[in-house]
Structure formats: C-alpha cells, structure tokens
Amino acid sequence: MTSVATKSYDHLGLGDGPKPKSMVRAKRWSEEVENAFRFQTAGYRDEIEYKIIMKIEPERWPVEPGYVKKLQRRDGTYYYYNRGRECQDKEVHKIKLYQY
C-alpha cells in the first residue's frame, strides 16, 4: 500500500502561523492590492507570512499611505520599492488577497 505524503511547511517556520480561510483575486487596484503586490513580488503570501518568517516588521515609506519600502527575500537579497504605485493595471488580476 502506498502512503500519500503530506506537505509540511515546518521548514519555513509557518507551523504555528495563522492559515488563510479563503483567497480572492484582485479585480481593481487599491492600497491593499498595492502592498499585496509588493509582498508577493518578494515571494511571500502576505504581510503576516513575512512577519512570521523574517521576524521583523517590513520597512515602510513614512508618508501616507505608507506603502512597503523594502523587503528581504528568503535568499537574503532585498527588493526596494518606490513611494508611488508600482502595481500596473495589467498585473492587478494576478494578485491574491487572503482572508483570515
């Protein structure tokens, strides 16, 4: 009899973190979509996953709306973002928004 292997994310440090209850794709741009774009570009599901794995707060621009300024990827390299919008309209439908 063959056993089915289950995926384990313990190596990522996500064992005790919250799990999303659902996911929807973005339909139009918003500030929430912009920040989600930045986290997903850097290889994270969302801000919650980033905080669990990196154990630090993401660096943000000091002016409103306070978009993410810099994120460290899992391989140690950094992504730097501008103050303004970076998620183009053609990219919006690719962004996943998670509900907890």
Name every residue whose Cβ is closer than 8 Å to that of residue 60 and which is 6 or more positions away in sequence. Answer: 66, 67, 68, 69
Residues making up the chain, counted from first to last? 100
Q: What is the pTM of this model?
A: 0.82
Average pLDDT of the chain, as a whole number: 87
| Residue 8 binned pLDDT confidence (cut-offs 50, 70, 90) | very low
40-72 confidence digits (pLDDT tens): 999 999 999 999 999 999 999 998 889 999 999
The pLDDT score that the predictor gives to residue 89 is 97
